[in-house]
Every structure is written in C-alpha cells, then in structure tokens.
Amino acid sequence: MVSGVDYLAVVGTLAIIVPITTVDRGWPNHIPIRGGTLPRESWAMTEQVRTVSRERIVDRAGRVSPETLRAVRTWIRDFLDL
C-alpha cells in the first residue's frame, strides 16, 4: 500500500496500492522488493497504481525497506508529474 497516513485518515474505505509481479521484465520502473518476506523475488509495478476497497485487503503480505518504498513513490511522482 502506498497510501499516505493523511489519505488513510480521510478516506476510510479505500487504499492506494501498487501491484507486484514475480516476472522480471527488466523495466527500470519495476522496483525490486527489498526488505520483504515474500517467498519469491518480486517487483513493484509502479505504472499500475490502483485504488481498491480496504475490504479487499485481508492480510499484510509483508513490509518493504524504506529505500524500496522511496523508489516506488519516486516513480509514481514522476509518472503523475507531481
């Protein structure tokens, strides 16, 4: 989930996420998941930001390192020209 604390406090039913894949396409915007506990190598697909209902989030898959989250958010900002 890439939603910020302020967003989560205001929007109680939605979360902003970035899906992950286990396929390494070699794209620079696919960020390797570091510091996580996933069973396979995985990459965040930063070009596919989604808003989903929090009801769909049933468990935490793990956490990523602060560096990984920073890299994901940097790509999102670049894509959205923020």
pLDDT of res. 45:
96
* CA 58 distance to own-chain centroid: 16
Cα dihedral angle (30, 36, 40, 42), rounded to 10 degrees?
-10
The pLDDT tens digits for 36-77 are 678 889 999 999 999 999 999 888 777 788 899 999 999 999
Domain locations along the chain: 5-80
pTM value is 0.83
Token pair listed for 31: 């960020």
The pLDDT tens digits for 7-39 are 888 888 999 999 999 999 999 999 999 876 788
Q: Out of 2.30.30.110, 2.40.30.10, 3.40.190.10, 1.10.3720.10, which CATH number does the structure's domain 5-80 have?
A: 2.30.30.110
Rounded Cα–Cα distance for residues 14 and 52 (Å): 6
